[in-house]
Each structure stands twice: as C-alpha cells, then as structure tokens.
Structure 1
Amino acid sequence: MAAILFGVGGLVLLLVGAELLVRSGSRLATRLGLSPVVIGLTVVSVGTSLPELAIGIDAARSGSPGIATGNIVGTNLANLLLVLGLGALLRPVPFDRRTLRVDLPAVVAAALLLFVLSRDGTIGPAGGAVLLVAALGYVVLVLRTAPREEVTAEADAGAGRGGTVVQLLVLAGSMGLVVLGAEWLVDGAVQGAQLLGVDDAVIGLTVVALGTSAPELVTMLVAVARRESGIAVGNLVGSSVLNIALVLGATVLAAPGATIAVPPDVVDSDLVLLVVATLGTALAMRTGARLSRAEGAVMVAAYVAYLVWLVLTRT
C-alpha cells in the first residue's frame, strides 16, 4: 500500500510540475530574449536530470552500482525511444537546423564516450573527470551557438515589473515538484520490484529508468500538446547528453574510491543497444528534419520489444 501511495503521489507531482515547467520556461525565454530550445537544453534539462543524479549518487554510495549505471542507460533508452516516440505519435516533431548540427552529434558522442569508458567493466576517476569536462563543454557549446530572439516591448515591460523574477521562482518551484515527484514515484516502484527479488541492474534499467524518465515524458507530452516543441526537444536532447556526461560523471567522482562498476550484462548488451538506438534515432531525426507519426510508432515498438526481451532474459 505504501508503494502504491508513493507512486500515485509522485505521478501527481510530476504532472503539476511538468506543466509549470513548460509554462515558466517558455515565458522566461521570451522575457530574456532566448530561444526556447536554449532554455530546454540548459535550465530545464538540468532540472529534469536531478532525479538521476540523486539516485546515482545514493546508489553508488550504498553499494548498488547496477542501479546507478543501469538508470543512466535505461533512462536514455527511454528518452530517445519511448518519450520522443510518443511525442511524435501525438504530433509530428520538427527539428531546427541548430539541433540537427549541434545537439544530435552531442547525443551520439555522449553515447559513444560512455561505451568506450565502460568497456573494461569500471569507470574510474579519470573517466568521471572526462565526463564532467564533456558536460561543461556541451553547455558552453549550447550557449555559444544559441540563437537569440528579440525581446518584445510587452516582454520587456513585464520584466520591468519583476516578471522575470516571478518566472524564475516558478521555474525553480516546478523543478522541485518534478524532482520530488520522481523520487516518490521511483521509491514506490523500487519497493515493489525488490519484493519480487529483481536484480539491481534490471531495476535500474526498467523501474528506476522509467520513473526518472517520467519528467521528460510528461514534459514532452505537455509541451507538444501546447505546441512548445522547442522546449520539448531541447529538454529531451539536453537531458540525454547531461544524463551521461554530468550525472554519471558526478556519480563516479562521488562514489567510494571515485570508481563504479558497470555490470557485464549492461556492458555487453544494454550499452550496445543504447549506441544503436542513439544512432538510429539521430538518423530518423535527420530525415526530413522531423519525426513523423510512423517513425514515432516504430520507436515506441522498439522500446516495448526491448522491455519484453529484458524481462524474458534477465529476470
């Protein structure tokens, strides 16, 4: 009963937080003259990656590296296949030139970097530092290549009345709701999974990954429904890069001995699937500079097939 209450309560907080996140992010972008994609790629992405960071550090320190690494791999698989696929099913998702030239290569590079660093079954201090440097480089690249939008007279007047401060407070509060909601949702799900005796890595790849992907999923669906696809895509791409570079890098350096183990099954199968899924998704995005409903259906079907395979072979 406690697990169910945590799960339902977490989902409610996620829904409310995601709606506020999209609204405040869009308004803040207008007031500051920034592209909505930039807000999604930086502030919103970091906010929705906080659950992964908290879970990763806690899992690494408590001796559950399977949850830490499985969560990152599973979350990115869910982001790229399930979340983006469902968004495209709801409404075809367009991509601008900057996203195709900068952000997609960054996602592919992050997946390949993780694959290379994990091949010996561990990620040590040097690997953690490399990941953090890559995260910093990505954020700098985003800011340097970001298009700026002209601030309208209305937005400028709103900022003068303290509107920017209000939107920053709403943005911070909505992030808090999203993070708390994700934690409750994952806590409830993990309690239920552990009662069934499921392996740590599988818990990380499925229950925890789906729980920590919930902010991205809800944000994507709400943003697409509100026709704010810039923030939706920016948030998803930014989160996928930062999950690997920032979250895993910080998790490694916070772990005992600044080293975490990557389970053999994750190295030999799930990481390979992540690289393949990332390359396939990037290729689909470049076709016509958008994702069609048909492509979204294929991506969702691929993720469901992966979950079925995971349950049948690893539980």
Structure 2
Amino acid sequence: MDALFVVLGLVLLIAGGNFLLKGSVDLSLRLSIPKIVVGMTVVSFVTSAPELIVSLQSALRGFPDLALGNVVGSNLANLGLVLGITLLIGTLDIRRSFYFIDWPAMMLASLLFYVFVVPDRMLGRTEGIIMVVVLFIFLIYLLRFQEPAIAEVPPAFVNILPLYKTIFFLGVGGVALWGGSELLISGAVGLATRLDIGERIIGISLVSIGTSIPELAASVIAMIRKEKAISVGNLIGSNIFNLLAVLGITAIINPIHVIDDHLIRSDLLWMLGISFLVLPLVFFPKGQRLGWRDGLILLAVYAIFLYTTFS
C-alpha cells in the first residue's frame, strides 16, 4: 500500500501541477499581465508547486528531513537527471545572461541556504523571510533590466479558455496537489519505516525525482520537437525558485529543523558541487554550448550521488 500511495501521489501531483499551470496562466492573461511577467512568476512558481506542497506538508506533519531532502534532491535531479537526459537528445546554446545573471543567482541562493542552515541545523522564520525577499528582488531586477530567466508561456496556453474552464483547472489542480502530497508523504514515510531507511533518503531520491518528472517531460518533448525552448537557464531558474520560494515559504510557516546530519555533511555539498559544475561544462570543450558529452558527465555525477546515498 505504501508503494501504491507513492505512485498515486506522484500521479496526482503531476496532474495537479498541469491543471494549475493551465488555470493560472489563463487567469494571468485575462488580467492582461504581460507574457514575460507570467513566464517569470506564474509559470515558474506553479511548476514548483509540487515541491512547495510536499515540503510544506512534510514540515507541518513533523518530517523536516523529507521537506529538505525533497528540495535538495529536486535541485540535484534538475541539473543531473533532467539536464543530463535533455543534452543526450540535442545541444543547448547558452545565453550571455547565464554566466552574468542565472548561474551567479543560483549559486547565491544555494550558498545563502547553506549559510542559513548549517550553523544551527535549522531554517527559521527570519531566514525564510530573507530568502523570499531576495527572490522578489531578483525577479524585480530581471523584469526591469534583463531578459527573462524563466521560460515564457508555452504556445499551448496562449488561447484564453472559457471562464468556467479556468475555474475548473484551478480548483481541480489545487485539490490534486493537496491530495497527491498527502498520499506521497504517507507512502514515503511508510516505505522509509518498512525498509528501515531514513526519511532523508526517500525524500532526496524517490520523492525529488517524482516531483521533477514534469520538468523532465517538458524538456525532452521540447528537445525532440527541436523547439529549443528549454535552456539551462530555465532549469537554473527552477532551482532558484525551489530554494528561495519553496524553502523560504515553508520556513516562514513552520521552521525546519535538520535531523539527519547527512543533509549537511553530504547532500548540500553535492548540490553545491553539481551547481558549480555546470559553469565549466558551458565553456569546455567548445564554449557557450552544452552537448551530449556534458549530458553524460551530469548523469554520471548524479548516478554517483545516488549510489553514495544508498550505500
């Protein structure tokens, strides 16, 4: 039953995220919000909704390692698994904003989280507020001075839906996310107990990979269609949102205490390492481009991380 709960929870999270995305984008277009703003705020926040709901529910129900492991694991999966697989299908050209804005912002968010959580093994309300404020400053800067770091609204969502469909998508999406998070957390904790492994391991592997499935599907489909709509900057933007929005909001509502020290001594270092690794991969061997060799390196690093986690 625990495994079934995990599968059903992931299905509901993915479906709920898609429904909420459609409804949110349509509502934004009805309010005449510019596409750039929609792409950088609504779309990016909604695609992080599964991580937010799972982390928040985990923290509120007394499973802080599951909350932290979910976000740290999702960031690792976004770069190691999603970007790695995407690069095996085709190459990605890197924009100038990557090494001037996107990558430095991701590293800043990662280091900020590391500095906040390591000294006292917790992420408190004050730290959460600071992280959310930093996110808003970053978004305001992008809106005013830079090209969007988050993908704009997909063409499929440009046509405005009838109002009743918008309300339906928002309602069903919200309920599906809530129900999916309940099932996923119950199943994950049950599996951890049954298999005698920590919540952190379940969160940083199974749960995080599951909540990264929408990003993986979108990236692979876009690359197969040769739309080149997915870039490394988009995944980096997702990682920034996961750290500053998901953990920031969760900590404001309910401070997160670290129970398993492996999150501090190992997982966070892996997250910082793979985040840094993307920069030299962009410049070597051909410069300002990521190809299949880079994809193999990222997948290998992610595989080693999973191996060391379970060993």
TM bucket, shorter chain: 0.7 to 0.9
Deviations 1:110-160 (A, max 9, x none): 111111111221122221111111111222122223449xxxxxx9xx98x
Cα 1:107/1:12, change in 2 over 3 Å:
same
Q: Which residue of 1 aligns with 2:63?
A: 64
Q: Which residue of 2 aligns with 1:260?
A: 257
- Is the contact made by 2:52 and 2:246 (CA closer than 8 Å) also made in structure 1? yes
Specify the code of the residue in structure 2 equivalent to 1:272.
Answer: L
Q: CA deviation at 1:84?
A: 0.7
- Determine the C-alpha separation between the residues in 2 that align with 1:206 and 1:141: 34
- Determine the C-alpha separation between the residues in 2 that align with 1:228 and 1:181: 34
- Determine the C-alpha separation between the residues in 2 that align with 1:20 and 1:307: 31
Cα 1:143/1:238, change in 2 over 3 Å:
same
SS of the equivalent of 1:230 reads: coil
Cα 1:15/1:221, change in 2 over 3 Å:
farther
Q: Which residue of 2 aligns with 1:293?
A: 292
- Determine the C-alpha separation between the residues in 1 that align with 2:16 and 2:262: 37
Specify the code of the residue in structure 2 equivalent to 1:228.
Answer: E
Q: CA deviation at 1:103?
A: 1.2
Deviations 1:223-260 (A, max 9, x none): 222333334545422210011001101111111xx453
SS of the equivalent of 1:229 reads: coil
Gaps of 5+ in 2: 149-154
Deviations 1:161-194 (A, max 9, x none): xx34569949969976995796466765554444
Q: Which residue of 2 aligns with 1:50?
A: 49
Whichever structure has more helix as a proportion of its residues is: 1
Cα 1:99/1:310, change in 2 over 3 Å:
same
- Determine the C-alpha separation between the residues in 1 that align with 2:62 and 2:13: 29
- Determine the C-alpha separation between the residues in 2 that align with 1:9 and 1:62: 16
Specify the code of the residue in structure 2 equivalent to 1:131.
Answer: M
Q: Which residue of 2 aligns with 1:138?
A: 138
- Determine the C-alpha separation between the residues in 2 that align with 1:145 and 1:42: 16
Give the RMSD, CA atoms, in angstroms: 3.7
Residues 1:200 and 2:184 aligned together: no
Cα 1:33/1:246, change in 2 over 3 Å:
closer
Q: Which residue of 2 aligns with 1:308?
A: 307
Q: Which residue of 2 aligns with 1:151?
A: none
Specify the code of the residue in structure 1 equivalent to 2:197.
Answer: V
Question: What is the TM-score with the length of structure 2 in the denominator?
Answer: 0.79
Q: CA deviation at 1:5?
A: 7.0
- Determine the C-alpha separation between the residues in 1 that align with 2:180 and 2:288: 32
Q: CA deviation at 1:70?
A: 1.3
- Is the contact made by 1:40 and 1:235 (CA closer than 8 Å) also made in structure 2? no
- Is the contact made by 2:69 and 2:208 (CA closer than 8 Å) also made in structure 1? yes
Cα 1:53/1:15, change in 2 over 3 Å:
closer
- Determine the C-alpha separation between the residues in 2 that align with 1:199 and 1:13: 23
Q: How does 1:225-304 map to 2 (within 5 A)?
A: 225-231=224-230, 233-255=232-254, 258-261=255-258, 263-287=260-284, 288-304=287-303
- Determine the C-alpha separation between the residues in 1 that align with 2:236 and 2:18: 16
Pairs aligned (count): 294
Cα 1:269/1:2, change in 2 over 3 Å:
closer
- Determine the C-alpha separation between the residues in 1 that align with 2:138 and 2:58: 26
Specify the code of the residue in structure 2 equivalent to 1:283.
Answer: P
Cα 1:41/1:299, change in 2 over 3 Å:
farther
SS of the equivalent of 1:139 reads: helix
Cα 1:18/1:284, change in 2 over 3 Å:
farther
Q: How does 1:16-95 map to 2 (within 5 A)?
A: 34=35, 40-95=39-94
Specify the code of the residue in structure 1 equivalent to 2:267.
Answer: D
- Is the contact made by 2:2 and 2:186 (CA closer than 8 Å) also made in structure 1? no
Identity %: 32
Gaps of 5+ in 1: 149-154
Q: CA deviation at 1:34?
A: 4.6
Specify the code of the residue in structure 1 equivalent to 2:135.
Answer: A
- Is the contact made by 2:125 and 2:253 (CA closer than 8 Å) also made in structure 1? no
Residues 1:222 and 2:225 aligned together: no
- Determine the C-alpha separation between the residues in 2 that align with 1:242 and 1:182: 21
Specify the code of the residue in structure 1 equivalent to 2:127.
Answer: G
Q: CA deviation at 1:303?
A: 0.3
